[in-house]
Amino acid sequence: MKSALRVVAVLVLLVVAAGLVFYRYPLWVADQQTRLHLWRAGVKSDYIEAGGYRLHYFEASPASGGGTPLVLVHGLGARGEDWSAMIPALAAKGFHVYVPDLLGYGRSPKPDVDYSISLEEQTVANFMQSVHVPRADVGGWSMGGWVAMKLALDHPEMVDRLIVYDSAGLYFPATFGPELFTPTDPAGVRKLVAILTPKPRVIPEFAAEAMVRKLQANAWVVNRSTASMINGRDLLDFRLHNILQPMLIVWGAQDELIPLASGERIHKAVSQSVLNVFDGCGHLAPAECARPIVESTVDFLKAEPPLQGGEKTFPAEH
């Protein structure tokens, strides 16, 4: 009887301890769950020297090996884990997927540099050279789409087919300031989340406070990135017509951060591009609407001959 009571007491203590850890570090717990999901799906987490920096990246390939090289570039304030809903699915469809953490983000170094789009473009180019992928299909989400398009323009020999998801890179009159991305209190976190998704979840106060701590820890990098983007030197408005690769433009119809009008402008400027709009999705479409977006991405990347032009709207999933 005493032995059973001891076991129960230990279990209670473990549950209490786990609850306290989750209460204090909810984002760390969520990260461990995401990384466990990726590991169980056969996604490798590793580091590689690229351009003088030790970059972190994820890598996944088909069970049979090989696969078409596909590089995915995350957005502002993000990291490779943000592609976790798509990486295993794309690998299962025959792609050898590489997902680097850009310089200053995720588990990559944070040197004292400007964090411009040009710098991150060079980071991706250096990464591809280091993993011995001289040419690949390249996809980018938000700021990562800007990086991917600039790579396609500056180094067309490195990009086979191009995909952008709710991409930055064009001028548009923003309804928010750069402080949106580095909130200093829970109210600011909730404002950011409400702009990112049309279906915001209720965020408990302890979780919102944890998000503030995490976002503020990397605020100086994000601030330099946004300052570089705002100065306009890397804007692509007058270069888009020079993109020659087959191109897929994916957009959440309810994106309040970068409006669908930006995607339509890219589509109009790149004559061979395909525009796929997903109703019911916002700026986080590759995470929140991953299944149909993976399907449309695979259809585009595997089409022979490459798809040329056209628009399609996908209904909201229920």
Read off the pLDDT of residues 193-216 as tens digits, 9 standing for 90 and up: 999 999 898 999 999 999 999 999
CB crowding 40-69: b at 16 or more within 10 Å, else e: eeebeeeebebeebebbbbbbbbeeeebbb
DSSP string covering 74-117, please? --TT--GGGGTTTHHHHHHTTEEEEEEPPTTSTTS---SS---H
* pLDDT > 50? residue 19: no
Provide the pLDDT for residue 186: 97
Contact in structure between 116 and 124 (CB atoms under 8 Å): no
The predicted model scores a pTM of 0.93
**Structure tokens, 286:** 């590759």
What average pLDDT score do residues 30-45 get?
96
Instruction: For CA atoms 42, 80, 131, 244, give the dihedral sign.
Output: positive
Contact in structure between 300 and 68 (CB atoms under 8 Å): no
**pLDDT more than 70, % of the chain:** 92
Provide the pLDDT for residue 58: 98
Provide the pLDDT for residue 177: 92
Contact in structure between 251 and 277 (CB atoms under 8 Å): yes
89-142 residue pLDDT tens: 999 999 999 999 999 999 999 999 999 999 999 999 999 999 999 999 999 999
* pLDDT > 80? residue 239: yes
* pLDDT > 70? residue 14: no
CATH numeric code, 44-314: 3.40.50.1820
Task: Name the 3-class secondary structure at 15.
Answer: helix
Q: Answer whether the bond into residue 305 is a cis peptide, omega within 30°.
A: yes
**Structure tokens, 161:** 């087919």
- Enumerate residues 6+ apart whose C-beta is below 8 A from 257: 142, 166, 176, 195, 196, 282, 283
Provide the pLDDT for residue 17: 41
What average pLDDT score do residues 2-26 get?
49
Contact in structure between 217 and 25 (CB atoms under 8 Å): no
